[in-house]
Structure 1
Amino acid sequence: MRTYATHLTTLTDVNPTNFAKKKLMLLVLLSLGALLLCSQLYAAEQNLYAKNYQAQNTSQLKSLSAQPDTKMYLSNHKGEDNISMLEDGYDMMGSTGFSGTFASVDGALQFGKTIKADKVLVYRKYGSAKTGSAKFEVIKQAAKTGGEIDEKDLVEDPTEYNYYASYWAKLPMPLLGVHVIKLVKAASDDGEVSVEVRGLKIIAVIKDSPAAKANIVKGDTLLKIGDVSLVKADDLFAAVKRYAGQIVPIKLQHDGAEVNVNLALNSRS
């Protein structure tokens, strides 16, 4: 009897009704999961900041923090902001640019969080729209010539804006602390060919870096580090790596004059 009762209980646990309920519940959960995934994909597709994103390079730069507290700022001074961000020790991960009638800046913040940016800078600039005065000119011209007016010319056009966002990640303290470009002297009208300008032009100096402490400033031109002449950016990277953690002589051009300074480079961690 005991064996039979135990066997009967086991048979009851797997009866068709319970199995059907469990199967239905599983199907519901799978459907909800698929719906959630589709919603997320649709939201990402509709986010123009994500859709139009272009990475600055292939280095996959992102925040040093695993879960950064991404901050967003609205501004109208892109050029000045870029230099300020470089000086504050950030580097650009990438940017977004597009035109449209309306795009919530929240899309930029959400995408910034997705790619683990520390800061997002957003810009919105007026694009174009057919104004009331422009429509009036169409009517006035038609009245003068006796011509017809296309009803499309009288439809109110939505205002278009140009949107731009840049995404930034904080860098670890650099070995030297400068951002440089290679200048090239443009060709002249009299047929003179373009030539490379000597050295590397500094466009930004990171605050509290070895370069800043040595009073190297934006606009200076780096000519030599140790015994490495600086012709291209790769020369700078190689020299800084070679002399990391050492006091090294640096030759630069400041206000048109060559200057020599001794500078203590940071060590690699």
Structure 2
Amino acid sequence: MLARRTLACVGSQPSVLGAAPTNARNMATLRELELRLKSVRNIEKITKSMKMIASTKLNKAQRAMNSGKQYGAANAELFQNSPSEEPAKRKLFVVVSSDKGLCGGVHSSVSKATRRVMAEQKDLDPESPVMVIGDKSKAQLSRVLPKNMTLSFNQIGRDVPTFADAAGVTDLILKSGVEYDSITIVYNKFVSAISYEAATIDVVTENALKASSGFKAYEMEDDVTKDVAEFALANAIYAALVEGHACEISARRNAMDNASKNASDMINSLQLQYNRGRQAAITNELVDIITGAFHLVISDILH
């Protein structure tokens, strides 16, 4: 009887003193997989919640965008009747972005469009000023156009942008003292609920309005032209803000939807690995039990 117990104990001990059991690595791997599964499940819950929030905000953003387009249509009619007769060499670029991330390539889209427009216009002053609405595009453009950055705005459009936000930006632009011949607004144009594209709006300045043939035909005071130019700039910025906001919400909804799908696929893959690892661990335990029983049988036969 003592020999049987001694043989069973020796069979259950590691072959080298201090070595881990044979299934220790499997158990560690199972523990790691379990922690990863828990982490990915938590991420999936977060992305699904953010997708629901973005879906709720999207309808509100689209309604604001449709209202804002009326401001842009009024500006377009004004600019058609008062075209600029001389090409502008020093343009002010107003880039419309936001402070929030997790929305795909919304911010890089307007940053790339700004650099592309500046590169395509050969007669443009290389030191043309750039003003950015939003910290995300500001960080991107500050690395490639540090000498052109003159002014930036943040905390605008945290909710649906209002005309008061656009008026505040316009007021700071006009009071900045930056010299320019014309203004170009770079923003994201809403194409559909799943796509957008970078676009530009050219805004006529006060001097261009005074020089246009359409305004020369009427006798106006200087303040009238100044007010019209300021109001037209506020209109254009507001239209770009609400349309860019709708693109951001739509892109965030799509990004969170894709993230949720990727998390679900990863959960399925990790669950399969966990089940296989668990099955292998159980098989190893059964092999150990059967081996121990076999040793006991052999010892009984020998004794």
Do the two structures share a fold, i.e. TM-score over 0.5?
A: no
Higher relative contact order (CA 8 A, sep 6+): 2
TM-score category (smaller protein): under 0.3
Higher helix share: 2
TM-score by length of 2: 0.22
Higher strand share: 1
Structure exhibiting the larger radius of gyration computed from Cα positions: 2
